[in-house]
A and B are shown apart, each in its own frame.
Chain A
Amino acid sequence: MRKILSLLAVLVLCSVLAFAQTRVVTGQVKDEVGEPVPFSSVTIKGSNRGTTTDASGNFRIEAASGDILVISAVGLTPREFTVGSANTYNVSLLKSGNLQEVVVTTALGVKKRPKEIGYANATVQAEQLTNGKSPQLAQALSGKVSGLTITNANNSVNPAVKVTLRGFRSMTGNNDALIVLDGVPVPQNALSYINPNDIADVTVLKGGQAATLYGSDGVNGAILINTKKGSRGKPLISFNSTLNFERLSFLPDFQDTYGSGSDYGGLTPAGNYRTYENQQYGDRYDGSIRPLGRVAESGDTFNFPYKAIPGERRRVWNTGFTNTNDIAVSGGDATSRFYLSFQDANTHGIVPKDRNRRDQLRFSATKEFGKFTASFTGNYILEKIEQTSANFYFDILNQAAHIPISKLKDWKNNQFANPNGYFNDYYNNPFFNLDNNRDLQQNNYFNGNMELNFKPFEWLGFTERIGVATTNAYRRFTTGKFLYSTYAKNDAYVPAPFPNDYDGIDRAGGDILGSVLDRSNFGQRINNDLFLTAQKDFKDFSTSLILGQNIQVRRSKNIDVSSASIVIPELYNVSNRTGELGGGASNTEQRKYGYYGDLTLGFREFLYLHASARLDGTSVFYLPGRKKSLYQYPYYGADISFIVSDAFQGMKSDMLNYLKLRAGYNKNGNDNLSPYRLAPDFPLGGGFPYGTTAGSTVGDVFPDPNLKPEFVTSYEAGLEANVWNNRINLDFSIYTQKSEDQVLSVSLPPSTGYPAALINVGESKNWGYEADFRAAIFRTQNLTWEISARYSNNDNKVISLFGGLTRLAAYGGGFTYAQTSAEVGKPFPYLFGTAYVRDSASGRVVVNSNDGYPQRTSNLKEFGRTIPKHQLGLGTTLRFKGFSFGANAEYRGGHVIYHDLGRTMAFTGSSKVTTQYDRQPFVWPNSTYTDGTGKFVPNTTVATRNGHYTAWVTHFRQIAENFVTSGAFWKLRDVSLAYTLPSGILSRTKIIKSATIGIYGRNLITLLPDGNVYTDPEFSTTTGNGLGINADFITPPVRAFGATLSINF
């Protein structure tokens, strides 16, 4: 067989084999630590013959004795040697000190040299990721790749992130980047649990062309995470321990002049004091001793000075801390490698009693048997999260400044902290709420893959890779049972002389009956790829071909059982209940197959043409009897990479080392649809079943029978250059993407009978550019200093919706008064909200000439896009002898956000803005009124009838415009300083190979524009498409800092 094929090869390559005296010389290229160097260039000096090493650093070249072979690789110092009598040569190269250029892992795990690639990509090395020791990979990536937007939507011990590349394409569908772990697509939450220390590198493929081979899921770009696979040589044991602290960084601006009270009809706050009010529209603080709440059953009253307690709302937050310990063992020999790691991360949040404990194990092994290579990776994660399901932030935000809340933690023993004696008539003690409402999760994740490579010839290989990602999650929400005392319900009174409107605590009217919701969730993704790779050079041409097929299956099962009332306290089982059993179950399954082909043609190592195509069939668009074209669809793309500096060697100089131009086009099919959306459904009607009576309703969404996948067409072009002796690296990309026939759930006129229809209608455009700059400013033996900057500019626009429809209202969520929508001609998501009625000529706020109050628009006014237009990332690393310093900062801007917590705080009166006129009647700023003839007169005299409750709660709060601010920020994402002990000291120990200690901080500095007195602008109520609205249930922002120790044995 071999002979036959060799003969074939001889026929094909006869011209190459024309030199009779040559023979085959083989070898392997390694770097200074013994890692193979893939794709290094091996050329015969003085000829145009050459080859490159394969992924394992092996090369094979026809050479004659006496030929000088030049081995070079980016980032390494070139080396020359003369071919002697031996047939095998092992060459090691030393680091050059130039900017590190790396081999790029592209789709399917195929490694390529940067110059072969005609589309934008970026690789982030492990050391950049772990600079700030973020326990989450997503946060560690923030600001480090142009075009990549990581939105940290909240800050709990179980943080939620949204990860997008190059903005939003789909209005209502998924815009999240595909996450690929060791070649296998996994759910996006893998970013939150995977151990950052296990990661070798992360490659970001920014556009759809990069990810065509991943099928529809790659339409939003892909993030390829490669984990450590171990290295050849003696076993290496590394231990890493990190202690991380988190402190509340800032809270909204509070007022500290007025205490408990509400509206009792007066025009000023005087006389509005109530001992039991949650709102803060009461009297001005005067320092007098007053009771809080009512007389307790014991006859005691809780007397306290009526004045603000400075810093009290901060005092209730804990210092969060995370203790992370990692141990990893790796090693291998000539034919095998393994990596084994264990991590324990134990987090305590800033919210008291919030915890997250994560333990994970990873094992990865590779073994070569001649032409076969088999590898396996398995990763098991056990994550236990315990949080309060109460809204602690809300509870604290709305405390009056004189409440000694930090002294009321012990609700079991302190009669004034206990629900039977707590002062507030409407809201319970935050600490009681926190203890009594719990959310426990246990998540078990297993991700694994097996891969078998068979390489019958140097030029041909087969790969079979099967991967599975499974989630088994259990979650239980509980509310403890608490029955109020009869005294609390009926008799608790306010002592004279303070107003006592009624006896009994209002909230005690409804007992807390206790509840439990038990949830079990199973998720599974199976992905199988079987493909061949063929690489062959023909004289001046190189070819590389991939042909393959892919199968994906996703399944989920979700079961809830619940009870709204429990019998015996503290037993949270649905069998311990009165009333009906609640709950439900859902199952989903979706399948997809794909066939793909990918061809790269290279010419003299300076021109590369690459084309790929794929045919997908998807179950979410399949129903028996549907036309094949509706569920099976082809898509394709092509790109070109032209190394100008290699084509015209004369251009090369010490100033210009490398210049590449690239351009690409592709069209991606996207099956952006959940399963079972093709047929109308008839769900159970609200409240049903009532005993034996059933009832069903016509489903709300009318599916178009011809629904089909949507398509995204992208164009991109780019330039990459290395200048000044490879010290400066520039990368510039420009792109435009058009999404057509989007599957939109369009709000229909209610009069059609259906609230919504699912139709292929929307069209949108997404465009932008990215510029990356890296420079090695110093690179001496003892001192290296690198800086980098990344800027991305992204914009998008809704081209059309459907029929006469101009807006998809609240498609991204929000409230009736402030919502993210998609409107024709505008970027999406776009914030709309209630606003002041203004005089169009002067722009002044129109007030009523009788009472001085402003009016609210009946339609929602437009405020702006809610995803950033500009993003700038800055980074630096500095090494001096054993010390290394790194810092990364990020700016985002050009967008607006809505703070619902501002509205909440205006209702309770805890926000500072509500005291800007000292709660006295005031002339609304920049206002005007009509003089009766329709003419607008600037208002300088008509003050609000009332300067406290009505002005702020009834009017100010109702206008969403008051709570819209710029979303801009500057954040110092991470800073680290590490010291590696000199090897001389360690060598004496004979055990420790290296040791590093370091300190670091994350988000130490956050700069916000003046208007944003509320919270972190990244926070959002959703990680869906409706970013830009935050609320009072998101834990406040923190800054983190800590210390870390790494030892290698």
Chain B
Amino acid sequence: MIMKKILIYTILLSSLLTAGSCSKDWLDVNTNPNTPTSTTPELIFTNAVNSYISNLGPHQFGAHLAGQYTQSTSFIGGGAVLTYAISNTDFNFFTGYYNNLNDFQYVIENSTEANQHLAGFSRVMKALIFHRLVDLYGDIPYTDALKGTRVLQPKYDDDKFIFEDLIKVLDTAISVIKSSTVTTDASDIVFGGDKTGWIRFANTLKLRILMRQSYIPGRDAYIVPEINRIISEGTGFLEAGMDVTASPGYIAGSAGKINPVFATYGYDQNFAQSQGVRLIKLTSTVIDQLKNTDDTFRLKRVAHPKGGPGAVKVTSNYVGIPTGASGNQFLESLTSSVGPALVDVTTDATGKVTGGNQTKRVVIMLAAESFLNRAEAKQRFPAVSLPLTAQQYYEQGVRESFRINGATDAQATLLLTGLKANADFNVSPDKITAIMTQKWLAFLNYDGLEAWSEQRKSEIPPVPISLQAATPTRPVRLFYPLVEESSNAVNTPDNINIFTSKVFWDVN
């Protein structure tokens, strides 16, 4: 009896003191069963490109300031872009772009021999996104950026230095791509692993970055040899039909998996009208520009007639709205929204949208831009070793714009020989104005930010001040977002004025 009790106490006491000392293994339940803790450069690359093409904010913002889109104030979401009362909590493209860049940086740092082409492709995408950040913000963190917690407060680099360095990044990209042995890669949702496509894209991007600086006095000393260097590289630029486009494999009829441009400016997976149709309208500036040059074939591709896709497609039915106008003219029955080139739909007898192409690839860079930038280069810097004349590049550029919008080559010929200034090169009094105007039109619906940047650098074509503007001038940049100002206060430049603190290439 006594022994039994002693035994009980011993067990009780020892269990008290030792139970749970299984400790370490017992605690080993902290491995994430819900989200992967490892990945591959392929998976990251695919998503990073998709994330880039899904980010329509910069396009829409740019299109507003480029005088191409205007927006109803009767809906929440109007406002700042048209009143120009932009604060540092509006239009934060900074966070999204750096987050996107971080994925490309991950691929650059984690690719191996077997997938080093992805590191090359990622450098091209990195240059693309960084130049867009500079276009929006000027000086930005660059050399210190994307280092995670290794550099918690990245310093800012000079915008001009960044532009020059991006050319070097693209050089590296091209040499990495060239040295890789890839032929096809399904994770590359842009070119499917086609090295030549990526190198042409890189070269054309270099041309864009260089030509952005074309208004800086004396800058030709830098630009011309750099362009000649692209030509001597040998692979060439994006040529006819070679638009850079991507698709992760959009699925028609599936929520969240259709082409985001279609979903934003057109209809949802079930062809219910999205708010964008009512909210976002083409301006009278852009509609009138097209009408005034008899560019009606392209007009009917970039815009839907008032009354919607099922309405009669006569030129008088294409109506824009003055930038910043408010009131009821935003109704579909009165004005034009983004057209069939992007929002390609079919309608029934009553005009109801019943079908459409929800799976188009999204455009990253236009072949038209490739030609129009060469036209500007040749026109402005005759010394460049581009083989054709400015007019030849110009006309090819316009034809490419017609093609991608779904107008015919014959219709392009009509415009190019229509004796209208800034359409027919021969009768255009100022060739640069013609080139810049056509560039502006080519970007319509595809790349509003590029349209605005080129318009900002050249002031061509002139676009009106918003009717709601509180200031007599248009913004030339964005504020650094509040999150950057509050988390990187020591480095973020002070005294930014969005009307006067220009990006280095904006000398107009």
In the bound assembly, the distance between CA atoms of A982 and B30 in angstroms comes to 63
Chain A CB within 10 Å — which of B19, B30, B85, B145 has the most?
B30
In the bound assembly, the distance between CA atoms of A551 and B19 in angstroms comes to 9
Q: How far is the CB of A526 from chain B (nearest CB, A)?
A: 13
Within 8 Å by CB of B44, from A531, A617, A698, A704, lies A698
In the bound assembly, the distance between CA atoms of A94 and B39 in angstroms comes to 74
What are the residues of chain A within 8 A of B30 when measuring CB–CB? 590, 619-623, 675-676, 678
Q: What residue in chain A is nearest B6 (Cβ atoms)?
A: A1
In the assembled complex, A860 has its CB within 8 A of some CB on chain B: yes
What are the residues of chain B within 8 A of A263 when measuring CB–CB? 73-74, 326-327
Question: From residue 319 to 333 of chain B, which have CB atoms closer than 8 A to chain A?
Answer: 326-328, 331-333
In the assembled complex, B61 has its CB within 8 A of some CB on chain A: no
Given A530-B16, A587-B34: A860 and B102 interface contact (C-beta under 8 Å): no
What are the residues of chain B within 8 A of A690 when measuring CB–CB? 50, 248-251, 257
B145 touching A752, Cβ below 8 Å: yes
Q: How far is the CB of B134 from chain A (nearest CB, A)?
A: 13
In the assembled complex, A367 has its CB within 8 A of some CB on chain B: no
In the assembled complex, A991 has its CB within 8 A of some CB on chain B: no
Q: How far is the CB of A674 from chain B (nearest CB, A)?
A: 10
In the bound assembly, the distance between CA atoms of A551 and B20 in angstroms comes to 7
Interface string of A453-464 (1 = CB under 8 A from B): 010100000100
Question: From residue 533 to 587 of chain A, which have CB atoms closer than 8 A to chain B?
Answer: 547-549, 551, 564-565, 578-580, 582, 585-587
B89 touching A698, Cβ below 8 Å: no
Given A502-B332, A755-B99: A687 and B44 interface contact (C-beta under 8 Å): no
A510 touching B272, Cβ below 8 Å: yes
B51 touching A697, Cβ below 8 Å: yes
What are the residues of chain A within 8 A of B196 when measuring CB–CB? none
In the bound assembly, the distance between CA atoms of A860 and B103 in angstroms comes to 31
In the assembled complex, A624 has its CB within 8 A of some CB on chain B: yes
Interface size for A (C-beta < 8 A) is 112
Given A686-B51, A687-B248: A749 and B328 interface contact (C-beta under 8 Å): no
Q: Is the interface of B mostly helix, strand, loop or mixed?
A: loop
B479 touching A858, Cβ below 8 Å: yes
In the bound assembly, the distance between CA atoms of A700 and B94 in angstroms comes to 15
In the assembled complex, B487 has its CB within 8 A of some CB on chain A: yes
B270 touching A580, Cβ below 8 Å: no
In the assembled complex, A65 has its CB within 8 A of some CB on chain B: no
Selected interface stretch from A348-356, A416-424, A655-663, A801-809: A801-809
Q: How far is the CB of B102 from chain A (nearest CB, A)?
A: 3
What are the residues of chain A within 8 A of B490 when measuring CB–CB? 804
Chain B CB within 10 Å — which of A591, A704, A806, A853 has the most?
A591
In the bound assembly, the distance between CA atoms of A701 and B1 in angstroms comes to 62
In the assembled complex, A618 has its CB within 8 A of some CB on chain B: yes
What are the residues of chain B within 8 A of A456 when measuring CB–CB? 5, 9
What are the residues of chain A within 8 A of B9 when measuring CB–CB? 456
What are the residues of chain A within 8 A of B332 when measuring CB–CB? 502
In the bound assembly, the distance between CA atoms of A198 and B269 in angstroms comes to 54
Q: How far is the CB of A534 from chain B (nearest CB, A)?
A: 12
Q: What residue in chain B is nearest A491 (Cβ atoms)?
A: B350
In the assembled complex, A298 has its CB within 8 A of some CB on chain B: no
Within 8 Å by CB of A490, from B15, B79, B352, B491, lies B352
What are the residues of chain A within 8 A of B484 when measuring CB–CB? 749-751
What are the residues of chain A within 8 A of B98 when measuring CB–CB? 750-753
B35 touching A699, Cβ below 8 Å: yes
In the assembled complex, B36 has its CB within 8 A of some CB on chain A: yes
Q: How far is the CB of B70 from chain A (nearest CB, A)?
A: 15
In the bound assembly, the distance between CA atoms of A941 and B136 in angstroms comes to 39
What are the residues of chain A within 8 A of B32 when measuring CB–CB? 675-676, 679, 681
Q: How far is the CB of B338 from chain A (nearest CB, A)?
A: 16
Question: From residue 27 to 54 of chain B, which have CB atoms closer than 8 A to chain A?
Answer: 27-39, 43-44, 46-48, 50-51, 54
Q: How far is the CB of B138 from chain A (nearest CB, A)?
A: 14
B248 touching A679, Cβ below 8 Å: no
In the bound assembly, the distance between CA atoms of A684 and B103 in angstroms comes to 13
Within 8 Å by CB of A750, from B95, B149, B186, lies B95
In the assembled complex, A817 has its CB within 8 A of some CB on chain B: yes
A803 touching B153, Cβ below 8 Å: yes
Q: What residue in chain B is nearest A685 (Cβ atoms)?
A: B47
Q: How far is the CB of A276 from chain B (nearest CB, A)?
A: 12
Given A456-B9, A697-B47: A751 and B141 interface contact (C-beta under 8 Å): yes
In the assembled complex, A1009 has its CB within 8 A of some CB on chain B: no
B270 touching A513, Cβ below 8 Å: yes
In the assembled complex, B312 has its CB within 8 A of some CB on chain A: no
B50 touching A688, Cβ below 8 Å: yes
Q: What residue in chain B is nearest A697 (Cβ atoms)?
A: B47
Q: How far is the CB of A507 from chain B (nearest CB, A)?
A: 10
What are the residues of chain B within 8 A of A621 when measuring CB–CB? 30
Question: From residue 677 to 725 of chain A, which have CB atoms closer than 8 A to chain B?
Answer: 678-688, 690-700, 702, 704
In the bound assembly, the distance between CA atoms of A589 and B26 in angstroms comes to 12
In the bound assembly, the distance between CA atoms of A694 and B332 in angstroms comes to 38
In the bound assembly, the distance between CA atoms of A751 and B351 in angstroms comes to 48
In the assembled complex, A486 has its CB within 8 A of some CB on chain B: yes
A803 touching B327, Cβ below 8 Å: no
A619 touching B27, Cβ below 8 Å: yes
In the assembled complex, A958 has its CB within 8 A of some CB on chain B: yes
In the assembled complex, B118 has its CB within 8 A of some CB on chain A: no
In the bound assembly, the distance between CA atoms of A170 and B38 in angstroms comes to 31
Q: What residue in chain A is nearest B43 (Cβ atoms)?
A: A696
Q: What residue in chain B is nearest A858 (Cβ atoms)?
A: B87
Given A511-B272, A688-B248: A753 and B148 interface contact (C-beta under 8 Å): yes
In the bound assembly, the distance between CA atoms of A293 and B23 in angstroms comes to 70
In the bound assembly, the distance between CA atoms of A675 and B30 in angstroms comes to 6
Q: What residue in chain A is nearest B248 (Cβ atoms)?
A: A690
Interface string of B239-255 (1 = CB under 8 A from A): 00000000011110111
Complex A-B: 10 CB contacts under 8 Å: A511-B272, A564-B255, A591-B29, A681-B36, A751-B140, A751-B146, A753-B101, A753-B102, A860-B89, A954-B79
B interface residues with partner A (beta carbon < 8 Å):
1-2, 5-6, 9, 12-13, 15-17, 19-20, 23-24, 26-39, 43-44, 46-48, 50-51, 54, 73-74, 76, 79, 83, 85, 87-89, 94-95, 98-99, 101-103, 105-106, 140-141, 144-149, 151-154, 186, 189, 248-251, 253-257, 268-270, 272-273, 278, 326-328, 331-334, 350-352, 470, 479, 481-484, 486-491
